Amino acid sequence: MGKTGYKTDIVREVELTQKKDDWQAFDSVTIAGITHKKSDPDTDNWKGIPKAGGVCEISYNKEKNTVVFNWKGSKAEESTIDFSSNLHSALNNSGLLENDLKNRDFFEIDSKCDGSTMVPELNKQIENKSLLNHGTWAYYGNAKKGKESERYLFWTSVDTDKINANTQIPVIISTADGKFYISSSTTARKRKDSAHKPYIAIAPTGKSGSSQYKSYIDGKKQYNTLEEAYKAYADVVKNDYSNYKDTLPQ
């Protein structure tokens, strides 16, 4: 759903090269048959004004058979995500590695787990603009000190409460030693115990401990920053999982 209230499909996003806000030379401006003056308010076809270093999001309004221009600030300015944050900081700062998980060579923490005592502790540590505030996440692997390469954060923009088990979804995988990968996973139905509700997790529980997760990243391109990984993830979603494109944080 576009910001106009009508159903729209984004055709493309164009980066602007201008150094100042608003139109500098012309009034009015006509693009693709849509005319707009500086003094005009927002319309169904024209939202906002050009921003220095910003972008123009070009959409197609199916209901009105017309183009929509949405002028926005830079991606960094618009982003709701702090890509400099450490996805493992919530676990590292929670105290769980030193207490509940101490010396364990295999653990699972699913964000959707009903009745989990560890998820609330992690939620307390998640920063306001963390990617983990969106979609579904899980920490899997080896909790022992020195085994950071065997400790994984799985994240997907998909809310697994809204899909079934055995569904393939795209994921960002971050290892605790600072590497990022784009992969896919098959959701699984899990349950803490009979006293709690079943839930849909990002990945199933295998029989080979923390080593089972290595197969998710073997042969995958490695990214050195979360921002690089997220851009690649967004491209994969738009191209290969278009039914989930509306789940991407805006």
pLDDT by residue (tens digit) across 105-164? 999 999 999 999 999 999 999 998 999 999 999 999 999 999 999 999 999 999 999 999
What average pLDDT does this structure show over 35-41?
83
Q: Which of 179, 169, 158, 159 is nearest to 229 (CA)?
A: 179
Q: Dig out the tokens for 84 from the structure.
A: 């400099």
pLDDT at residue 169 is higher than 90: yes
Residue 61: C-alpha distances to residues 36, 43, 155 (Å): 17, 13, 32
Q: Are 44 and 4 in contact (CB under 8 A)?
A: yes
Is the four-CA dihedral 111, 117, 120, 126 of positive or negative sign? Answer: negative
Contact 49, 22 (CB under 8 A): yes
Per-residue confidence band for 7, with pLDDT thresholds at 50, 70 and 90: very low
Average pLDDT over residues 80-93: 94
Selection from 23, 151, 171 nearest residue 96 by Cα = 151
Rg (alpha carbons) of the chain, rounded to whole number = 22
Q: Which residue has the higher pLDDT, 227 or 38?
A: 227
Quick check: pTM over 0.75?
A: no
State the pLDDT at residue 38.
79
Sign of CA dihedral 161, 166, 169, 175: positive
Structure confidence at residue 230 as a pLDDT band (50, 70, 90): very high
**Cβ proximity of 59 and 10 under 8 Å:** yes
| SS3 call for 239 | helix
**Neighbouring residues of 88: CB distance < 8 A, sequence distance ≥ 6:** 139, 151, 153, 174, 176
- Kindly state the average pLDDT of the residues 221-230: 96
CA dist 82 and 153 (Å) reads 17
- The pLDDT, as a whole number, for residue 10 is 57
Mean local confidence (pLDDT), 71-79:
64
User: Which whole number is the average pLDDT over 35-62?
Assistant: 83
Q: Which residue has the tokens 């220095």?
A: 52
Compute the mean pLDDT over every residue in the chain, rounded to the nearest whole number. Answer: 89
Confidence of residue 5 (pLDDT cuts 50, 70, 90): very low
Whether 3 has a pLDDT exceeding 50, the answer reads: no
pLDDT band at residue 41 using 50, 70 and 90 as cut-offs: confident
Q: Are 135 and 116 in contact (CB under 8 A)?
A: no
- How far apart CA 64 and CA 153 sit, in angstroms, is 43
pLDDT value, residue 43: 84
Q: Name the pLDDT band for 1 (thresholds 50, 70, 90).
A: very low
